[in-house]
Structure 1
Amino acid sequence: MAIGTLEWTSAVRRPDLLAEPVARAVGGLGGLGGLDGAGGVGGITVAEIDPELADTAAFCERYGVSMGESANCVIVAARRAGETRYAACMVLATTRADVNGVIRRHLDARKISFAPMDDAVTLTGMEYGGITPLGLPEDWPVLVDEAVAAHPGVVIGSGVRRSKLAVAGSLLAGLKTAQVLHLAN
């Protein structure tokens, strides 16, 4: 999968470019579609980037990736009756997730907010700005916007700021805890 001006290679062959939980998850997805043309398991490829350019707008501008080819992973904290549950929401960089509407109702939360950075980093084992749905805690729902699920190839985080993954939206929609919804605001 070639997106932008990046050099993509198999994510399995470059675990040094992945956070530990992401590397474990990628290794466990071997049955999802086999090797792609670039040697990526299940179509998962990775490219090294400048960590200072990990934020979406700067990344897209520098590496020739359109915002419509980039998907953001937003971690939310849903609260009800004194209990906090976490979920990941995947939306294209061109849209905003409807956190206080669709997502709050879907998670049956009384109150919802973006998870505090320290909580998101500690609970995922990933770097802020690189959090991805691959390798999240097994009990977290992954809410995937319909546009992401239908996309032939999106760029997402790798768990670290120094690289990005390219995957088919169908791979994200097929994750064990994934649910495809209309999340865009």
Structure 2
Amino acid sequence: MGKLQTEPVLSRLDLVAAPVAAAVGQWSAVVPVDLDDIAVAAIDPELADTTAFCAAYEVGLGESANCVVIAGKRGGTVRYAACMVLATTRADVNGTVRRLLDARKASFAPMADAVASTGMEYGGITPIGLPPQWPILVDARVVAAPHVVIGSGVRASKIVLPGPALGVLPNAQVVEGLAVPAG
């Protein structure tokens, strides 16, 4: 995929965040995905942000999926969710996501909260290895992609996997219309 130099993720768990490595290590028991289809690639951490990454590594925006952490609030309760959307789109936070979280208000989680809650680096957060109570909302376009590049929990690498694999993660829900075209 593009100029990425990938290796099987199981042979390079040192390239991913600790919660990601732990989750991948348990996949054979809980996720119906062939681990041979999951790869990781080291990247320049200064190029981890989507636009810079895609340009430098010649990966199309339609092949890159972003994980955004959303905080939904109702009363005094805050619920977190991860949303997986293609880089050509943006999560419909105040519409679809807010309704799915049954929240009065939804917004991007503060960076410090997202990092502390996930054990991952900002700019590298991925749906793999998130807290088990969090729903993972996956836009249907992500699942329809043959392969996507996602975060690895750290800024110094990316994971490449089949789009359908994201739809079978624990707590994943594939949602039509989760994202709208980026404007």
Q: TM-score per shorter chain, which class?
A: over 0.9
Partner residue of 1:180 out of 152, 159, 174: 174
Deviation (angstroms), 1:107: 0.9
What residue number does 1:149 align with?
143
The ranges of structure 1 where at least 4 consecutive aligned residues each deviate by more than 2 angstroms after the TM superposition are: 30-36
Measure how far apart 1:30 and its partner are.
2.5
Q: Gaps (5+ residues) in structure 1?
A: 37-42
Q: Which has the higher strand share?
A: 2
Choose the corresponding residue for 2:80, options 86, 99, 121.
86
Structure 1 range deviating more: 85-94 or 175-184: 175-184
Listed as ranges, the gaps of 5+ residues in structure 2 are none
How many residue pairs end up in the alignment?
Answer: 177
Task: Give the distance between the partners of 1:132 and 1:113, measured in 2 at CA.
Answer: 18
Deviation of the 1:35 alpha carbon: 4.2
Check if 1:14 corresponds to 2:12. yes
Paired residue for 1:101?
Answer: 95
Counterpart in 2 of 1:33?
A: 33
Report the Cα offset of residue 114 of structure 1. 0.3
C-alpha change, 1:100 and 1:9, in structure 2 (3 Å) is same
- Deviation by residue 1:18-59 (Cα, 9 ceiling, x = unmatched): 0000001111113533343xxxxxx21000000000000000
Question: Which of 11, 35, 53 is residue 47 of structure 2 equivalent to?
Answer: 53
Of 1, 4, 29 in structure 1, the residue corresponding to residue 2 of structure 2 is 4
Give distance in 2, aligned partners of 1:142 and 1:77.
13
Identity of aligned residues (%): 63
SS of structure 2 residue aligned to 1:165 = strand
TM-score, length basis structure 1: 0.93
- What is the TM-score when the length of structure 2 is the normalising length? 0.94
SS of the equivalent of 1:166 reads strand
Letter in 1 for 2:178: L
Aligned alpha-carbon RMSD (Å): 0.9
**Equivalents in 2 of 1:111, 1:84: separation in Å?**
10
Match of 2:152 among 158, 172, 181: 158
Give the Cα–Cα distance (whole angstroms) in 2 for the partners of residues 34 and 76 of structure 1: 29
Q: Which has the higher helix share?
A: 2
